[in-house]
């Protein structure tokens, strides 16, 4: 059976290698396509891909089967020294800086506003009443990380986006953002009855890879990222 999968870029980069190992046993031919949610959604509706992995559950479309994958909490990324009181001596603090203090005194680099993550970051800033100067925008996580490292800035991104750049964390630090209240939900969507057991098996593979490989790597840098933070609420169908 042929299987064409479309995944948002953060999932594609983090999960593709392990998924290829599993899918090669179950399907004769498969392809993985990555991109932004709007582009993948259009490809799915045009039947250019068979399975959609994104933050869009397509609730308005009938004849779909939907599987919940993960809740993906938002976090803050700063230079390691930027969290220390010595980085802003004028504040006269001895404890680590809060997100609001970092946002007030350091410029921000954010995902481009034409991306879902960039648009959602603006929503989170408004919800938290974070007033910050956006100095640069980036189209991908690797560029975003480079700006934080080299530009004396801070950034907001999701945990799964961060998982793409864990090998570049030297000199960087993660800060919990508003007790991990803000997140996106990721789903796997396919047309009912067209792909047999593959969507269900693929969902189980995603969850297994996340729990056994991805989450432990994230927790080494952010111990507060408990497994429960990645569970989608029952109401999110």
Question: What DSSP line would sit under 34-96, residue for residue?
Answer: EE-HHHHHHHHHTTS-SEEEES---TT-SSEEEEEEEEEEEEEEEEGGGGSGGGSGGG--SSP
Residues β-bridged to residue 47: none
In this prediction, what percent of the chain has a pLDDT beyond 90?
62
Identify the CA nearest to 225 among candidates 17, 95, 119, 70. Answer: 70
Q: Please give the average per-residue pLDDT across 147-160, as a whole number.
A: 91
The alpha carbon of residue 217 and the mean position of all alpha carbons in its chain are separated, in whole angstroms, by 14
In this prediction, what percent of the chain has a pLDDT beyond 70?
89
Both tokens assigned to 79: 């230079």
The alpha carbon of residue 210 and the mean position of all alpha carbons in its chain are separated, in whole angstroms, by 12
Integer Cα distance of 69 and 232 in angstroms? 8
Pick 148 or 92 by higher pLDDT: 148
φ, ψ at 190 (rounded to 5°)? -145, 170
Both tokens assigned to 103: 């946002």
Task: For residue range 94-114, list pLDDT tens digits in order.
Answer: 556 788 888 888 899 999 988
Under DSSP, the state recorded for 200 is: H
Q: Please give the average per-residue pLDDT across 220-234, as a whole number.
A: 92
- Whether 175 shows a pLDDT value over 60: the answer reads yes
How many other CB atoms are found less than 10 A from the CB of residue 181? 13
Residues β-bridged to residue 200: none
> CB of 37 within 8 A of CB of 55?
yes
Pick 47 or 236 by higher pLDDT: 47
- Whether 20 shows a pLDDT value over 90: the answer reads no
Integer Cα distance of 145 and 154 in angstroms? 9
Between strands 2-8 and 51-54, the pairing is parallel
> CB of 177 within 8 A of CB of 124?
yes
How far CA 72 is from CA of 10, 43, 95, 184, in Å, comes to 11, 23, 28, 5
Residue with tokens 């910050």, as numbered in its chain: 132
Integer Cα distance of 224 and 65 in angstroms? 33
């Amino acid at each position: 059976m042929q299987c064409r999968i479309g995944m948002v870029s953060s999932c594609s980069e983090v999960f593709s290698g392990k998924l290829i190992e599993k899918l090669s046993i179950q399907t004769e031919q498969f392809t993985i396509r990555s991109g932004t949610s709007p582009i993948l959604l259009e490809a799915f509706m045009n039947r250019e891909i068979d399975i959609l992995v994104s933050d869009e559950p397509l609730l308005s479309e009938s004849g779909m089967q939907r599987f919940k994958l993960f809740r993906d909490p938002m976090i803050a990324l700063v230079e390691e020294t930027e969290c220390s009181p010595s980085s802003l001596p004028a504040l006269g603090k001895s404890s680590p800086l809060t997100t609001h203090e970092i946002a007030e005194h350091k410029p921000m680099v954010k995902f481009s506003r034409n991306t879902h993550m960039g648009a959602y970051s603006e929503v989170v800033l408004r919800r938290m009443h974070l007033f910050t100067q956006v100095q640069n925008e980036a189209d991908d996580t690797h560029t975003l990380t480079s700006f934080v490292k080299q530009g004396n800035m801070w950034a907001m991104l999701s945990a799964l986006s961060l998982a793409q750049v864990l090998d570049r964390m030297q000199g960087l630090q993660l800060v919990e953002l508003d007790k991990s209240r803000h997140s996106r939900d990721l789903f796997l969507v396919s047309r009912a009855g067209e792909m047999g057991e593959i969507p269900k098996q693929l969902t189980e593979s995603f969850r297994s890879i996340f729990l056994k490989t991805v989450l432990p790597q994230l927790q080494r840098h952010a111990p507060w990222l408990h497994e429960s933070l990645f569970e989608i609420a029952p109401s999110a169908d």
